[in-house]
Amino acid sequence: MENNKENIVTNLEKKIEVRKLKDNKNPERKKVAYSEYPTKVFALGGLEEVGKNTYCIEHDDEIIILDAGVKFPDNTQLGITAVIPDFSYLVENNEKVKGLFITHGHEDHIGGIPYLLQQVDVPVIYAPELAAALIRDRLKEFKLQNKTVVKEYVENDVYATKYFRLEFAAVNHSIPDAFGIYVDTPNGAIFSTGDYKFDWTPLGHNANIQRLSQWGNEGIQLLMADSTNAEVEGYTIGEKKIIQNIDVHFLKAKGRIIIASFASNVHRLQHIIELANKYSRRIIVIGRSIERIIKIIRQIGHLNINDKMFIKPNEIDNYPKNQIMILCTGSQGEAMAALSRISRLEHQTIKIIPGDTVIMSSSPIPGNRADVENVVNNLTKIGANVIENSGENKIHTSGHASQEEQKLLFTLLKPKFFMPMHGEYRMLKTHGETASSVNVKKDNVFVVANGDQILLHNGTAELGKRVPADAIFIDGKDMTGKASNVIRERNILSHDGLMAVIISIDSQTNKLSSQPRIVSRGSFYVRESGNVIAEAINIVTNAVLTVLNSNKPTFGAIKNSIKESLSPFIFRCKRRNPLIIPVILNRKAENK
């Protein structure tokens, strides 16, 4: 078994064409001279949306991928597990794919990897330490450990292929081990920030401003930069200030402390746990996503807390109330998250008692505010003292650069061309305007969509042909992408209900053997709509008879006639567009 595993690793290693260079000496970059081929840059996800960040750089017969993220479904995508990029272009050009390079370990940058590997052979994945650990854990969950090699990189590493040279610069973000990636190509240098901000009092490493400035002096052809906070003026507040403010609430709290935060905000989780240790509070962790991330950061040494400080929920009554801290999911009011269940008195072990302090260390994402307020109201009703983020009480900050930090980045890198990424359209547009206000010509800003190719060629940039870049909906284990039709039908059902039209046909005589029946569910109250149903039956009868009297009646034609005749009638009468399902019974078949 062990030999078999070694053979698999050996065979995978043989496929790797990316070379690790010995040092990080930055030679003088070659000026952009004549290149036979353009360098193509495009996104399969991450543009005009927040999520599924997947960016590709292609030159001749080589493609490298920067990040492969997932996007979580919104309220309209009923029953969908996840949304991933359309990888069909990479499937068709699989022989060109040389490797996947990861900027950091957030799900919107690594969550698509298992789905990518099920379709595309990626010889190697290079990732920072924490991201690599998270990727290995996820590949194990999907039983894909033998599909690729995951290698860790550090800031001073340099990698090269036939056409590309890749280097790294530390950036500040809400997770340790976050890096921007520099790619030297035959048509000039490209820099992708990943997610970043400039935090002058960081909880982790400092941003490598010196290296960014050096690359800027050498020349950046194309900058691809995080646009999440493009509409936010000023600077993003530093994480250390947030922890200091939370520390004040720890000091004031006389009873138990319950903290809800994003599982993705690893720096915050680390330092909240360290605060609990500082105040001798035992730590209870509730919520699968937080449990997973804490387990991994402890395994790789990013959190050095005595095991005795962590206790199970059923041990909570063994300690005084002022020696307990509960760290949980639910900062966005998610219905099934731990804090929401606690607020509804539905959690198996944790019950709010008077004197509990609940700290909401987050800000509601647009669309979630009503859910968050509902949770806060419920918690307050049952006796909790709820502390929320506000202008006077900053207990949350973003992990993304605001406008002044974005301007600093343009000043450091001095890019010739700019492609805003990682954001909704309005964010990309505003980021482009910020670039033009600093040092990028307006005509050199490319606000593009997923699938649009930017062609860098001999000092110029222009748009090329689009590549497929639709959103693929994961419905359970279905990765066909056909789930988009299913979502549409689910939305119709949730808003307008369903109408089943049952008809019985004698296929020997091509006549109706009985009057059609209509069954309505969730569309309108049938008992009070007898006239509508009667008229609907007449409409269906006439439509079906018209088809049956034609030269070649088919079941498909009958079904279409039912839908096309009934749908506009129901909308006129009831202002509803129910899902109409024709059911055809064949009398001849029944008699056999």
| 490-517 pLDDT tens trace | 767 777 888 889 999 887 788 888 889 9
Give 454-493 as a 3 state SS string: EEEECCEEEECCCCCCCEEEEECCECCCCHHHHHHHHHHH
**Whole-angstrom distance, CA of residue 296 vs CA of residue 285:** 14
Q: Is 475 annotated as a binding residue?
A: yes
The sign of the CA dihedral 45, 48, 51, 57 is positive
Give 44-67 pLDDT, tens digit per residue: 999 999 999 999 999 999 999 999
> Is residue 403 within 8 Å of residue 438, measured between CB atoms?
no
- In this model, does residue 115 exceed pLDDT 80? yes
> Is residue 213 within 8 Å of residue 86, measured between CB atoms?
no
- In this model, does residue 142 exceed pLDDT 50? yes
86, 177, 199, 226: the catalytic one is: 226
Taking residues 261-268, what's their average pLDDT? 91
Provide the 10 A C-beta neighbour count for residue 218.
17
181 φ, ψ (degrees, to nearest 5): -120, 125
400, 431, 452, 457: the catalytic one is: 400
Q: Is 173 annotated as a binding residue?
A: yes
Distances (CA, A) of 584 to 22, 251, 526: 72, 71, 22
**Whole-angstrom distance, CA of residue 211 vs CA of residue 168:** 9
Q: Is 265 annotated as a binding residue?
A: yes
> Is residue 31 within 8 Å of residue 9, measured between CB atoms?
no
Per cent of the chain over pLDDT 90 is 68
Sheet-wide strand order for 222-226:
19-21, 158-160, 165-170, 179-185, 188-192, 222-226, 417-421
**Whole-angstrom distance, CA of residue 179 vs CA of residue 172:** 8
Q: Is 195 annotated as a binding residue?
A: yes
Place of tokens 């498909």: 556
Q: Based on the residue annotation, tell me whether 226 is a catalytic residue of this protein.
A: yes
Categorise residue 560: left if φ over 0, alpha if ψ from -120 to 50, beta otherwise.
alpha
**Whole-angstrom distance, CA of residue 176 vs CA of residue 333:** 26
* Amino acid 477: pLDDT: 55
Question: Residue 361: beta bridge partners?
Answer: 261
- In this model, does residue 32 exceed pLDDT 70? no
* Amino acid 590: pLDDT: 45
Q: Based on the residue annotation, tell me whether 271 is a catalytic residue of this protein.
A: no
Give 447-483 pLDDT, tens digit per residue: 999 999 999 999 999 999 999 998 888 876 555 555 5
> Is residue 389 within 8 Å of residue 396, measured between CB atoms?
yes
**Whole-angstrom distance, CA of residue 1 vs CA of residue 4:** 5
Taking residues 182-210, what's their average pLDDT? 96
Taking residues 5-27, what's their average pLDDT? 74
Structure tokens at 419: 């492609």
Q: Is 108 annotated as a binding residue?
A: yes
* Amino acid 363: pLDDT: 87
Q: Is 249 annotated as a binding residue?
A: no
Band (pLDDT 50/70/90 cuts) for residue 589 is very low
> Is residue 387 within 8 Å of residue 359, measured between CB atoms?
yes
Q: Which domains, and CATH codes, for the chain?
A: 35-234+399-474 (3.60.15.10), 239-388 (3.40.50.10710), 497-591 (3.10.20.580)
Q: Is 287 annotated as a binding residue?
A: no
Return mean pLDDT, the chain: 90
Give 520-566 pLDDT, tens digit per residue: 888 777 676 778 888 999 999 999 999 888 877 788 888 999 999 99
- In this model, does residue 26 exceed pLDDT 70? no
Q: What's the pTM?
A: 0.83
Per cent of the chain over pLDDT 70 is 91
> Is residue 375 within 8 Å of residue 346, measured between CB atoms?
no
- Most confident listed range (5-14, 245-254, 574-583): 245-254
Q: Is 219 annotated as a binding residue?
A: no
Q: Is 177 annotated as a binding residue?
A: no
Q: Is 109 annotated as a binding residue?
A: yes
* Apex 364 CA angle, 245 and 448, nearest 5: 115
Taking residues 373-395, what's their average pLDDT? 94
Q: What are the residues whose beta carbons fall under 8 Å from the beta carbon of 487, sequence distance 6 or more?
A: 76, 77, 78, 79, 80, 473
- In this model, does residue 442 exceed pLDDT 60? yes
**Whole-angstrom distance, CA of residue 375 vs CA of residue 358:** 11
